[in-house]
Amino acid sequence: MYVITGGAGFIGSNVAHTLDARDAGPLVIVDRLRDGDKWRNIAKRPLADIVHPDNIHAFLAENTRAIDGVVHMGAISATTERDADLIVETNFRLSRDLWTWCAEHDKSYVYASSAATYGDGNEGFNDEMSQGGLSKLRPLNPYGWSKLLFDRWVEAELRNDVPRPPQWAGLRFFNVYGPNEYHKGRMQSVVSQIQPIAARGETCRLFKSHNPDYEDGGQLRDFVSVDDCANVISWLLETPSVSGLFNLGTGNARSFLDLAKAVYTAMDREFSVEYTPTPEDIREKYQYFTEANMTKLRDAGYAQPFLSLEDGVGQYVQDFLSADDPYR
C-alpha cells in the first residue's frame, strides 16, 4: 500500500494513475477535496481510502504494517502565497513528521522539493545534497524557502547519521505541465492557459521581459511533462536501492515562445503573439532561466527518455485539453 499526500492534486493524481497502471498495490489518497472539481482528478482510480490531512497521523498509526511507502506531494505550492506560517506548517513540519515516521517504521519516502529552491539560478541548478551547497541557495519566495528548509533539515539528518528511511528521494520539480492541473487557477501551466485562446483562434499573450538579457517571450524554463515526473517516482519505488536529492526536468531549457507555438501547432491554429507586462507582484521575483542538471538521476540508473516539448505539449493538448473529458 502506498500513501500519496496531495494525491488529488496535480502531480499526486498523476502518480496515482501511474502506480495504478503498474499494479503497485492499494493506493490511499491524503488530500482536501473541498467543494470544487478536484475530486475528478481521482474519480477514475480504484482507491483503498481517502484520508483528510488532519487524520493522516492516526491513519498511519492504524495501518503501519500494510504501508510500503509514502509519496509526499502535498504542499502549499502557490509561489504567490505570503502566509509564511501556514507554509511552514504544511511544507516543512508535515514533511519532517512523515520522514520521521518512515524512518521509524522502515518505509520508503519520496517527497516533493522544488526548482524554486534555486532562486535566480546564480548558483546553478545542481542537485547537490551538501551543507555548503544548500547554504548558498537563495529562494525568491516563501514557497521556495520552505522547500529548501526541508532539504537542509534532511541534509543535517544524514550528516548526523540519525535513523533515516530505508529509501528516500527528494525531487526538485521544474516547470511541470499536464492533465489534472485545472483546479490550480492562476498557478496552472502556461499550456492550459493558452490552449483555450488557441482554440478560439485568438492572439496569444505572453509576459514581456523586464530583463535586458532576454527578449520578450525569450524567458527560458525547463518544461517537463507530468507523465515523466510520475514515471520517475514509479521507478524510484521499484528501485529501493536508490536514494538522494534529484532534479526532475528534461535538462533542456526552452522559451515561453517555443511553448506557445507548440500549443498552436497541436491545435492546428495560426500563431500570433503580443506581450503584456509581468504582474508587479511577481516581477521582482521572476526566474528568467531554469534548466535541470539531470546527471545525478541518470547516474542513479534512470534511463527512460523524457518527452520533448513538442511531443509532451502535443499529447497534453490533443489527448486531454481538447477532449470532452480532460481528466486522467
Which sequence positions are flagged as catalytic? 143, 184
Closest CA to 108 of 2, 251, 253: 2
Is residue 204 within 8 Å of residue 272, measured between CB atoms? yes
Contacts of 302 (CB under 8 A, 6+ apart): 232, 235
CA distance 82 to 213: 29
CA distances from 178 to 26, 95, 128 (A): 24, 25, 27
Report the phi/psi class of residue 85: left, alpha or beta, with left for phi > 0 and alpha for psi in -120 to 50: alpha
Residue 153, C-alpha cell as written in the block: 533539515
Residue 324, C-alpha cell as written in the block: 470532452
Name beta bridge partners: 273: 204
